[in-house]
Structure 1
Amino acid sequence: MYDNILVPTDGSDTAEAAVDRAVDLAAKYDATVHALYVIDVDAVNYSLGTEQVDRIRQGHLDDMPEVKQAADEATGYVADAAESAGVPAEEHVRAGQPARAIRNAIDELGADLVVMGSHGRSGISRALLGSVAEQVLRKTQIPVLVVDARGEE
């Protein structure tokens, strides 16, 4: 049923809440887990110069050890959980607007399921902050399992 399960992660507890579900499903369906870390270039654009943002977009992270470490830790957490369950995993890092980068990764990786965490915000806080999960849900044609960080689905 599923061959490639995409798990977007930023390394937060919210993102990690989805990892167990993704790994369980991958084990059940003999699927590969794809851990995806997205560097939000809109967020870093304010603190970095144009040249540095361009280097990030091109995947050059060696001169940005903090960003590289955060990406490695976030995707490594997913890969380690998958490895512990005997599930194949791949780690990916992309730069861009998070929801758009996730949708692009779905196509690039041939994902047939996305499992992602959500803060479970509602009302004005969701309207003001937006929701990457909601943006992915609205513009994606494949199933998306959203795991609420509070333990609700």
Structure 2
Amino acid sequence: MYETLLIPTDGSEESRAAIDHGIALAERLEATVHALSIVPEGPHGAMKRDELRAEPQEEAREANRLVESAAEDGGVDVTSEVREGVPQEAILEYAGEIGADMIVLGTVGRTGLDHVLLGSVAEEIVRNSSVPVVTVQPAE
């Protein structure tokens, strides 16, 4: 029933709980995981100051490596992809492309003005996804 799980990640501390839950689900369901990182584009794609030190594509690849490492530790097959675009749109588009059966993502990533301007990526995905979405609160 659930053979393909999509775990979008931004590499934030908050996303790690979602990665752990997604990999645990994949282990139990014997599912394949697709890790996805989005490099935001457009005027609201500005990164926080502390993120300006690294190239956005490299940061996205590093975020995916967190999923890859967890999948490897759990014996789960994983594929990684980096895309550019509006995060919620790119995530839903990619989910359709790969035939995802479920999306597992964290509920918090962006903060401050970025969150106010962009709204909640998780909320948009929950509202617009055609497949089940598991949202995971960050670990405390």
Where on the TM-score scale, by shorter chain, does this alignment land: which range? Answer: 0.7 to 0.9
In structure 1, which of residues 84, 89, 98 is the aligned counterpart of residue 78 of structure 2?
Answer: 89
Q: How does 1:27-42 map to 2 (within 5 A)?
A: 27-42=27-42
| Structure 1 residues 130 and 23: CA distance shift in structure 2, 3 A | same
Match of 1:138 among 112, 118, 127: 127
TM-score scaled to structure 1, two decimals?
0.77
Q: Which one of 112, 115, 122 corresponds to residue 104 of structure 2?
A: 115
Unaligned runs of 5+ in 2: 48-53
Q: Does 1:15 align with 2:15?
A: yes
Find the structure with the greater CA-based Rg.
1
The Cα shift of 1:16 comes to: 1.4
Letter in 1 for 2:35: A
Q: How far apart, CA to CA, are the structure 1 residues paired with 2:3 and 2:83?
A: 21
Q: Percent identity of the aligned residues?
A: 41
Structure 1 residue runs of 4+, over 6 Å off?
44-47
Q: How far 1:120 moved relative to its partner?
A: 9.3
Residues matched between the structures, number: 131
Q: In the aligned structure 1, how far is the partner of 2:18 from the partner of 2:32?
A: 15
Residue number in structure 2 paired with 1:6: 6
How far apart in 2 are the matches of 1:80 and 1:150?
19
DSSP-derived class of the 2:55 partner? helix
